[in-house]
Structure 1
Amino acid sequence: MTTSVTVKTIYHCSLERAFKAPMLCDVSKVHTGFVIMPKVTHCTEDEDWGQPGSSKKVFVAPSLSQAGGEASMDRVIERIENQYWKIEVCEFKSWMLGFSKFVGEWRTTELEPNRILIEYTYTMHADVVWLYPLNWLFTKVFWRVYMQRVLENIRKMAEGDEAFLYA
């Protein structure tokens, strides 16, 4: 089963910053933890991160849901410069409510200079039939709130000229 959720907002920065900030910045400043979601601490094996086909291992702090340490693998599936990213989060190292992978999409549309529409979509893939109602509820309620928090963290970096870690 797949369940998707989309959140939208406007960023007031250049199209390039709005496009690059979510993927090329310090991810520990994006995923700062929330209730059961652990804070990302760092990534490894990320030398080519940002290019289609590249990947990185993601590490997290201990939380209610995880002991800490290596958490997952992120992969760039598609990159259309200044328009669209598609990534996959997979190879979870702890149980994730029956989810097998998450697919994230980040779309930027320049409405006018320094006014960028952000459309942020996550599709959650689940494999355990008896957990489908919980998966749906988690995605539509908790994950939507979490995505809004992520949007605001990215906004601070995009609008504040935060340096990118990757090219």
Structure 2
Amino acid sequence: MPSFKVEISDVFPCELERAFKTPMLCDITKVHTGFLFMPKVTHCLDDENWGKIAGSRRVFMAKTFTFKGGEALLDTVIDRQENQHWKIQVNQVQVFTFGIHTFIGEWITTPIDAHTTQVRYQYTLEAKSGLLYPFQWFTAKVLWKIYMRRVMNNIRQLAITKSPYSFD
């Protein structure tokens, strides 16, 4: 079963707590805005425990040329170390991904000073089989990395502007 690890990093000009909480607790529709065949998020359901370990949410996405629209995946918080680390698992993926079925995401924050935070954002993508390996590799190492950068830029902007959280 092939897996692919992708990582990016950036420095956010904001407090550690904002850099840590914003990606998971803000309005997901302002973060996951779509890219190519990756549809934008429209809303979530069953998210009462989101942000807590083992909390999950059903994520719904817009229609694209590769996705009919509707329920797209399940997000689950695997780990949360306050102001340090988030780990989530994305599975039950209904979006076209060349057989990639699970995404394990991590958001790691390290304070540089009172108003500056180092952020590392990484994903491990797991595929069902290697039959489509060249497409899976391209999706993970090129398309997903571009998408992650777009997501990180959205999160950065929300953190800097102190956008309200949707969850505690």
TM-score by length of 1: 0.98
Local SS of the residue matching 1:16 = helix
Which letter does structure 2 place at the counterpart of 1:35?
A: L
Local SS of the residue matching 1:32 = coil
Local SS of the residue matching 2:133 = helix
Match of 2:156 in 1: 155
Q: Offset of 1:63 from its aligned partner? A: 1.0
Match of 1:78 in 2: 79
Whole-Å separation in 1 of the counterparts to 2:52 and 2:33: 24
Q: Offset of 1:51 from its aligned partner? A: 0.3
- Alpha-carbon RMSD across the aligned residues, in angstroms, is 0.8
The Cα offsets for residues 36-94 of structure 1, whole Å up to 9 and x where unpaired, read as 11010000000010000010000001112211100000000000000000001101124
Give the conservation status (yes or no) of the 8 Å contact 1:35–1:64: no
Whole-Å separation in 1 of the counterparts to 2:38 and 2:159: 23
Local SS of the residue matching 2:164 = coil
Q: Offset of 1:5 from its aligned partner? A: 0.6
Which letter does structure 1 place at the counterpart of 2:101?
A: S
Give the conservation status (yes or no) of the 8 Å contact 2:97–2:139: no
How many equivalent residue pairs? 167
Which letter does structure 1 place at the counterpart of 2:37?
A: I
Gaps of 5+ in 2: none
TM-score by length of 2: 0.97
Local SS of the residue matching 1:130 = coil
Taking every aligned residue pair, what percent have the same amino acid on both sides? Answer: 45
Gaps of 5+ in 1: none
